[in-house]
A and B are shown apart, each in its own frame.
Chain A
Amino acid sequence: MLSEGSYLIAVAAMALVVLVSRLSGAFVMAWVTPTPRVEKFLEGMAVSVIAALVASSLVTADTKTFVATGCAVIVAIFLRNVIFAMIAGMLTAAAFPHII
């Protein structure tokens, strides 16, 4: 069991850490001169953080998740549509146990 006081401190600390994370990136960048190189760095980070999130999840994922994500990527390459890619991934994941 958790005491009411400990709960309040824990949730306040969590909320504060996440809120500061959300706000601090743009706040700090207000002091950085936006040269073309800085802009390239930020653009590169934007796409990299999404790619790293996916790659990191796939390391521990099962075969079904891996194949479904692969299908979504292929559909995204050819159809250039995120929703179609999601549907393709979802159908692959649903059909997978019946194929293998």
Chain B
Amino acid sequence: MVRKVQTVALTGGGVVRGAIRLLPISVFVVPFGIAFGIAATEGGLGPHQVTAMSVLVFSAMAQFAALEFLQEPVAFVSLGLVVLALSGRLVIMGASLSPWVNRLPIRKRFLTLVLLSDANFADTQTLLQRGESDLGPLFGGGLVLWIFWIGSTAIGAYGGDMLGDTEALGFGVVMLCFFAATATGMVRSTPTFLTPVIVAIGVSVMTQPYLPVGWNILFAAMLGGLTAAIRHAE
């Protein structure tokens, strides 16, 4: 059972706490950032352009996918649709955070969500389950992820040639372990989550060959949510 709290805040202490919590995770963003910086400069973008993209977009999956489109003539509509598919899960994350976020004043809602991404969302879920009432950790975690993403992209873009193959280090596994462990922890604390999780895993795996990348995750998450709502009605 997710504990409900009466008042929701966004404090500086919470921001710092979230930043410290996600510092060890952010280190594993670095190889991806460097790999993106190298790939994007090889694709014809200037180092400044690559770094600016990481500052403004801050989405590893969307940025990697966009590289396919960044040649003249640019297929802007296809680019937009691919980015939408890959960032669509952020809509679901924002909606699921809404019971907390929407109790803040409008400007603070913006601040809380502007750096929303997979890792700080997952970490915040662990905290909210424990009865957390401060959304500072969501923003703080996003801030440290954002800084590491920009920094590592810049390293790859400006000095990529000297670094060699960073993907061989296999850090992608660690991020996956973090998400898997977070979901496991949530089910451990709230056993009723088990059925929605099984539905979501099954749907995402089965629809993967038929739906474009990203949409299968959206579809699976919605069916997982519906399962939870239906089970509650029973």
Contact = CB atoms under 8 A, between A and B. Distances in A.
Interface of A: 1-3, 6-7, 9-15, 17-19, 21-30, 34, 36-59, 61, 64-65, 68-69, 71-73, 75-77, 80, 82-83, 85-86, 88-90, 93-94
Contacts, number: 296
Sorting the interface of chain B by its residue count into under 10, 10 to 19, 20 to 34 or 35 or more gives 35 or more
Contacts of A47: 125, 183, 186-187, 190, 193, 196-197, 200, 224
B75 to A, nearest CB: 10
Contact of B184 (A15, A59, A85): A85
Nearest to A42: B96
A18 B56 CA distance: 9
Interface in B188-226: 188, 190, 193, 196-197, 199-201, 203-205, 208, 216-217, 220-226
B62 A37 contact: no
Given A18-B57, A44-B225, A89-B173, A1 B72 contact: yes
Looking at chain A's contact residues, is the secondary structure mostly helix, strand, loop, or mixed? helix
B216 A52 contact: yes
Interface of B: 2, 24-25, 44-45, 49, 52-53, 56-59, 62-63, 66, 69-74, 76, 79-80, 83-84, 87-99, 101-102, 109-110, 113-116, 118, 121-122, 125-126, 170, 172-174, 176-188, 190, 193, 196-197, 199-201, 203-205, 208, 216-217, 220-229, 231-233
